[in-house]
Amino acid sequence: MYDERFSGLRRRGFLAATTGAAALTLVGCGGDTDSADGKNGGGTPKRGGRLRAAFAGGGASETLDPHLANLFADVARAKALYDKLADYGADLSAQPRLAAKWEPDKTLDRWQVTLRKATFHDGRPVTAKDVLYSYRRIADPEQTFRAKASLEPIDLDASRATGDRAIEFVLKRPTAEFPNILAAFGAYIVPDGARDFDSKPVGSGPFRFVSFTPGRSAVLRRYDDYWEGAPHLDELEFVVANEESARVNALLGGQVEYAHELNPTTARAHEGRGQIEIVRLRNSAMQAFCMKTDRAPFDDKRVREAFFLIADRKELVDGALSGAGVIGNDLFGKGYEYYADDLPQRAQDLDRARALLKKAGAEKLKVTLDTSAVAAGFTEAASIFRDQAAKAGVTIDVKMGSKDSYWSDILDNGTLCCYRSGAMPIEAHISQRLLTESTTNATKWRHKDFDALYQQAQSTRDTTERAAVYARMQRRLYAEGGFLVWGFADWILGTARNVKGVRTAAPANTLDWARFDKVWLA
């Protein structure tokens, strides 16, 4: 019900490989990226007012510790109170936030990061010491913070402050995508020495703390000295309503102005009726079937290709997502940086699927498909795919699992399962799930040559060259990978009609998602 957890970043180790090249500087635009595209409503921002936002939450166990953020509600609160050094743009590329700029050395394993001038809510400046404290707290071996694995490439003992606002990060190996680490899920900057986050948390984010009742409400107030300019709203209140119908009713009844995570059917019922605004964040959640490539029948790539060809993606999107999404092409990250969109769109071809299965000696194949009510559309997708497979002579037995332990259950067990993922850079998807050492490698995709390509990408400083390596990796996954990516679901929000400035181009989990400092009440 409440546990729409979404994906953080997870990195894994790989061998160092170095290439020499000229120094490269990645400098972000720094200022506001207030482009006209993808905004809900226009006009001049108006200052003032209180916005109430309803999210599904974590009940009485909720905390404001940003490093413990796990649910959408946690992240929305964390990003209002705190900042990260970088965050993801709409294409999941890292955009500078508290970091004004970053610059690698020649071998990509030392990065100089310069902080912008920013202050915490108590007036203290954000310094290199705060950054190192925050990262060391996350990486503490005694703790189990979610971002710990993301920060793994950083050697925090060797990294040091080189000035009040300058840090030298020493990495364990070349990491061309180091800015992704700075943007990692949960890698928020807290003041040096901060331990207690629930009574009076102090951050450098656009809103300052007023009050917090776990599982019920968090009230925040505008921080006038925010480095990017004070928010338009006077006050922001997060309220928790786990039932989708309750969030919609509260929005329709004027009790909240923003309702997060609505069902496609609700969206259809209210879209264009003028009562509320429906906002669809495209490409927010990859929807897939995950085939374990290390065991029968999917250890034969002809069987995997046959399954790619069995899927009628349009029917899956229409049926399982009620049409709220777009079809997929067996690759993660549609619309994201480095996405291989030049590959032909795969379509259902039952004759070829049957022929491939015959060649593989897998006629009259019987497979168990694991699913669970853990995510919207999972059980529907499973039964639709079962019917599609039957047309190709494949018998699929759909098995329902527990939703509280689903992700752990399907990691090593079974052969075929429903899968989904929130937005993250394509590089992070690969490092978390598709390398020999990946911790959540649900397709059991383990290939030394593929690992080597990833290393090569991470050691390539030229973006075009790096993109070419990612394209090669994606071609391989497209041809014979274990993820049958059939669609990308919209993330659906509802807002009151007077709420303006809600970005529509940002997938859930990116900088502009749930970004209340840019929102105003008309």
Partner 1 sequence: MNAGVRVRTGGLRSFVARRLLLGAAQTVAVVLLVFALTEALPGDAAVALAGDQPDPARIAAIREAMDLDRPAYERLADWAAGLTHGDFGTSLASGRPVSGYIADGFGPSLLLASLTLALLVPLGFGLGVLAARHEGRLVDRLVSGVTLAVYAVPEFALGVLLVTVLALKLAWLPPTAVGYGTDLLAHPAALVLPVLVLLSRPVCSLSRLVRAGMVDALASPYAAHARRYGVPGARVRYAHALPNALAPAAQQLARTVDWLLCGVIVVEALFVIPGLGTVLLNAVAERDVPVVQGLAVVFGVLTVVLNLGADVVAYRLTPRAGVAA
Contacts with partner 1 by CB under 8 A lie at: 1-3, 5-8, 10, 52, 54, 58-63, 70, 142-144, 146, 148-149, 213-217, 237, 239-243, 245-246, 249-250, 252-253, 255-256, 401-402, 404-405, 407-409, 411, 421, 439-440
Q: Closest CB to partner 1 among 183 and 394?
A: 183
**Nearest distance from C-beta of residue 407 to partner 1, angstroms:** 5
**Nearest distance from C-beta of residue 52 to partner 1, angstroms:** 6
**Nearest distance from C-beta of residue 459 to partner 1, angstroms:** 25
CA of residue 495 relative to chain centroid, distance: 22
Rounded Cα distance between 498 and 269, Å, is 20
Q: Closest CB to partner 1 among 74 and 490?
A: 74
**Nearest distance from C-beta of residue 474 to partner 1, angstroms:** 22
Judge contact between 303 and 360, C-beta under 8 A: yes
Q: Closest CB to partner 1 among 61 and 395?
A: 61
**Nearest distance from C-beta of residue 237 to partner 1, angstroms:** 7
Q: List the one residue out of 3, 4, 9 whose CA is nearest residue 430.
A: 9
Q: Closest CB to partner 1 among 307 and 419?
A: 419
Rounded Cα distance between 332 and 287, Å, is 9
Residue 499 exposure: Cα atoms within 13 Å on the Cβ side:
29
Q: Closest CB to partner 1 among 103 and 409?
A: 409
Q: Closest CB to partner 1 among 382 and 410?
A: 410
Rounded Cα distance between 292 and 253, Å, is 47
The packing angle between helices 448-458 and 426-433, to 10°, is 140
Rounded Cα distance between 248 and 383, Å, is 28
* DSSP letter assigned to residue 415: S
**Nearest distance from C-beta of residue 255 to partner 1, angstroms:** 5
**Nearest distance from C-beta of residue 446 to partner 1, angstroms:** 15
Q: Closest CB to partner 1 among 28 and 57?
A: 57
Q: Closest CB to partner 1 among 28 and 58?
A: 58
**Can you tell me which residue has the tokens 């610059």?**
103
Tokens of 363: 């006629």
Q: List the one residue out of 425, 515, 448, 444 whose CA is nearest residue 150.
A: 425
**Nearest distance from C-beta of residue 491 to partner 1, angstroms:** 15
* Residues found in the chain: 522
Partner residues linked to 59 by β-bridges: none
**Nearest distance from C-beta of residue 378 to partner 1, angstroms:** 12
Q: Which residues of 40-65 are buried (b: 16+ CB within 10 A; e: fewer)?
A: beeeebeeebebbbbbbbbeeebbbb
Rounded Cα distance between 236 and 257, Å, is 10
Judge contact between 128 and 166, C-beta under 8 A: yes
Rounded Cα distance between 485 and 498, Å, is 37
Q: Closest CB to partner 1 among 49 and 215?
A: 215
Q: Closest CB to partner 1 among 10 and 208?
A: 10
- State the distance between the two ends of the chain, measured CA to CA, in whole angstroms: 33
Q: What angle do CA 271, 373, 257 make, to 5 degrees?
A: 35
**Nearest distance from C-beta of residue 464 to partner 1, angstroms:** 32
Rounded Cα distance between 433 and 445, Å, is 8
Tokens of 334: 């549609």
**Nearest distance from C-beta of residue 26 to partner 1, angstroms:** 28
Q: Closest CB to partner 1 among 29 and 60?
A: 60
